[in-house]
Amino acid sequence: MSKKTKFIMFLAFILIIFNGALPLSVADDHKEKKWYQKILDHDDDNDNEKHRDDDHNKSYLKQVNNPIYKEECGACHFAYQPELLPSASWIRILATLDDHFGEMIELDDDSRKIIEDYLKSNSAEYSSAKRAVKIMRSLRNQVPLRITDIPYIIKKHHEVSPNVLKRESIGSLSNCSACHITAKDGIYEDDNVIIPK
């Protein structure tokens, strides 16, 4: 093959690619989305954060790696990743453990200090993970006691009906790992959701 033939084939190739790809941004709005557009749109919030997805570590939250936190705060429910709340929320939660959603929680001083340091230093405002950024943005200056009170989290679950949440296998929206099968790995992608019967 001569250099010229190769060049012409290269041009033809580019043309084919662009012919297929260009109309999708303009004309395809009302049609079934193409598979590659679904990948591009994977994150359905139109807020210019798509580029963050190239780094998968930034899509996922860090796994809980503090044994004291896991043991003490994972005894009754899923051990929530610290990145799911700002430090001000964690401080409020730790300051009200004598009435923790109707439960009384006792911690010795050492454990309490370890848990507080862990939660504070890994909280949402210090994270560049996509979800944590969205959580901070949606909170503005609110300091909720619950992850499930965060506007971003509420919005993401508006299609889950109260009857579904009442199922014995779920109980409440607080039970993240009932539906997010990879929650403990810090992965909350919609592809990894299975709502139990």
Considering only CA atoms, which of 191, 83, 186 is closest in space to residue 133?
83
Interatomic CA distance for residues 99 and 85, integer angstroms: 19
- Torsion sign (Cα): 8, 11, 17, 22: negative
Window contacting ligand HEC (CB under 6 A); options: 15-23, 31-39, 49-57, 71-79: 71-79
- Torsion sign (Cα): 152, 125, 145, 106: positive
The residue from 100, 120, 137, 184 that contacts ligand HEC (CB under 6 A) is 100
Least distance from ligand HEC to the Cβ atom of residue 34, Å = 19
Buried b (16+ CB within 10 A) or exposed e, 172-183: ebebbebbbeeb
Task: Answer for the pair 130, 52: CB distance below 8 angstroms, yes or no.
Answer: yes
Q: Which of residues 110-129 bind ligand HEC (CB under 6 A)?
A: 115
Q: Which of residues 158-197 bind ligand HEC (CB under 6 A)?
A: 160, 164-165, 170, 172-176, 178-180, 188-190, 193, 195
Q: Is 133 in the site for ligand HEC (CB under 6 A)?
A: no
Considering only CA atoms, which of 97, 98, 62, 67 is closest in space to residue 82?
62
Least distance from ligand HEC to the Cβ atom of residue 185, Å = 13
Nearer to ligand HEC, 84 or 124 (CB): 84
Query: Could you report how far apart the first and last alpha carbons of the chain are, in Å?
Result: 61
- Mark 49-68 with x for binding to ligand HEC (rule: CB under 6 A) and - for no binding: --------------------
Least distance from ligand HEC to the Cβ atom of residue 186, Å = 10
The residue from 34, 77, 92, 184 that contacts ligand HEC (CB under 6 A) is 77
- Mark 134-163 with x for binding to ligand HEC (rule: CB under 6 A) and - for no binding: ------------xxx----x--xx--x---
Q: Is 102 exposed, middle or buried (0-12, 13-18, 19+ CB in 10 A)?
A: exposed
Binding site for ligand HEC (CB under 6 A): 72-73, 75-77, 80, 84, 93, 100-101, 103, 105, 115, 131, 146-148, 153, 156-157, 160, 164-165, 170, 172-176, 178-180, 188-190, 193, 195
